[in-house]
Structure 1
Amino acid sequence: MRRDSLRADSMARKTGQLPGALLPGHRIVAFYGNIRSKGMGILGREPKDQMMRKFDKVVAEWQAADPNLPVLPALHSVTITAQGAAGADGKYRLMNSKSTIEETRAWAKEKNAILFMDVQVGLSDLPHELPKLEEYLKDPTIHLGIDPEFAMQTKGVRPGKKIGTYDAKDVNYAINFLARIVSENHLPPKLLMVHRFTQGMLTNYKNIKLDPRVQVIMDMDGWGNPTLKKDSYKAYIEKQPVQYTGFKLFYEYDPKQKPHHLMTPAEVLDTTNLNPRPLYVQYQ
């Protein structure tokens, strides 16, 4: 593992990054949710054909807003979901069935989209949950998201009672887990997306150790009016950068009342609003 890491670092120094790296040469535009749930996001809220038409339109809008940067479509599926009930082992999380995962994977392939598998660990932890996804992550088109909001082990309460947290060591575990899969299976670099909308959701960010086999996206995940969203981005993403940045838009919550509205691609790309411009944009 150490030798692989040194070799990857050496290659990255020569070329700037490893072959096949998706960032910063693309902007990823993702629809988030779960195909079996109307309540988790746009991915499952509408009938498939209607949702896919909306997805095509949004991808085209982003490409038109920044013609010089290719847009890469993505489906971002919550694959291990925090639960209100403890379950047999008391860990408050549930993994999608194999049939749900395979159907979601097929939807992504229909659109030539990459797929993110998102993990909400509840009272479990990443070392127990991520190995369940390893076989899927050997697919070069499948990437990983981790959500501190529902990481409750240090809080000692069930998901939804408080906002959870990850430390740099948790992010480092995910990076190392993905890096090993990349090396063992001769894959291009993986993407790791980390949700964030409060200070406490991620501690000791300076201790995150980057690896060229894994590209890390910190995603500003909060909902509300554009001013609040921009302020959160500046406070938690711009001021505490890790590598690449993301921004989330909520169809249900952002536009509830004026001056609330769903920000347009042009607004998100305006560097007086968000600097750096996010390379990952997620719709929930």
Structure 2
Amino acid sequence: MLTKRIIPCLDVDMGRVVKGINFIDLKDVGDPVEIADFYNKEGADEIVFLDISATNEGRNTMIEVVRRTAEKVFIPLTVGGGIRNTDDFKNILRAGADKISINSAAIRDPKLISLAAKKFGSQCVVVAVDARRNEENGSFNVFINGGRVDTGIDAIEWVKKCERLGAGEILLTSMDADGTKNGYDIALTRAVCDSVRIPVIASGGCGKLKDFSDVFNKTSADAALVASLFHYKEYTVRDVKSYLKENNISVRL
């Protein structure tokens, strides 16, 4: 049985970790380096670090914060936000990241996925997909620029294309569920997992311990991403892993 991963997510805006609901009403919850170090000691399997305003504001990802975080964190670190080309990949990896997450840039230039995969290896390339349900037909649309722009692209077709181009992992966020604490979007997550063979990280909506067992029992997601639930200390990484272990879901304790 494959071990499921629990991954805290640090959404960073102007050098501070923030959290909102449905991608708006952002609140400051702390320093990214300190928070990443805390989760590392708590037993997190990985850390995802997203500079959520970098793409929209045309800024580079904060190299120095990445470097300081990487010096303290000894588990895999995925970094995204403002990545536009393979030079950005190289610079972030040199700063200490293990994987690079791309979202808007991949939509604008899908060749970036294959270029990065060839240059750095597929294991380094994570495509982040922010999806929202299309109420007219029940499908899911891909959004970019921090959830501000509807591309009109079907999320299922997009993840299939990402896999063909060489992506090593999909970081899937349900914009409908994000920050609501009503549980992961099972329908979206299952549809994506069933469409690709590469690992899928489920993100958006966890609010209670049962949400973790639900997403692992009802979909083939490889990992669950967590933000506000951990940031506001409603549960710890240990709480989640102990619960999953008790419910016969394999995790690294």
Q: TM-score, normalised by structure 2?
A: 0.58
Could you tell me how far 1:116 is from its partner in structure 2? 0.7
* 1:51 CA drift (Å): 6.5
Q: Shift of residue 281 of structure 1?
A: 1.9
Q: How many angstroms apart in 2 are the aligned matches of 1:97 and 1:142?
A: 16
Q: Which residue of 2 aligns with 1:145?
A: 101
Find the aligned partners of 2:3 and 2:50 in 1 and give their Cα distance.
23
Tell me which residue corresponds to 1:196: 130
* CA RMSD across the alignment: 3.8
| 3-state SS in 1 of match to 2:164 | coil
Unaligned runs of 5+ in 2: 21-27, 133-139, 143-152, 228-253
TM-score by length of 1: 0.53
Task: Determine whether 1:174 maps to 2:113.
Answer: yes
**1:233 deviation in Å?**
1.8
Match of 1:266 among 188, 213, 223: 213
Q: Indicate yes or no: 2:213 matched with 1:241.
A: no
Shift of 1:145: 1.0
Mapped to 1, the partners of 2:46 and 2:53 lie a distance apart of 19
What is the CA–CA distance in structure 2 between the aligned matches of 1:243 and 1:173, rounded to whole Å? 18
SS at match of 1:132: helix
Which residue in 1 is equivalent to 2:6? Answer: 29
The AA in structure 1 aligned to 2:29 is R
The alpha carbon displacement at 1:229 in A equals 1.4
**d(CA) in 2 for partners of 1:31, 1:174:** 24
Gaps of 5+ in 1: 1-23, 60-72, 84-90, 152-164, 183-187, 256-260
Measured after TM superposition, the shift of residue 57 of structure 1 is 4.5
Q: Aligned partners of 2:52 and 2:183: how far apart in 1? A: 32
Q: Which residue number in structure 1 is paired with residue 164 of structure 2?
A: 210
Match of 1:4 in 2: none
Aligned in 2, Cα 1:137/1:27: closer, same or farther, shift over 3 Å?
A: farther
Contact 1:179 1:211 in 2 (8 A): no
Distance of 1:55 and 1:25 partners within structure 2: 21
Residues 1:25 and 1:190: Cα distance change in structure 2 (over 3 Å): farther
Q: Which residue of 2 aligns with 1:87?
A: none
Q: Report how many aligned residue pairs link the two structures.
A: 194
**Does 2:222 match 1:279?**
yes
Contact 2:48 2:78 survives alignment (8 Å) = yes
Letter in 2 for 1:196: D
Greater strand percent: which structure?
2
User: What one-letter code is carried by the residue in structure 2 that aligns with 1:247?
Assistant: A
Partner of 1:113: 75
Q: Is the 8 A contact 2:171 2:200 kept in 1?
A: yes
1:219 to 158, 161, 172: 172
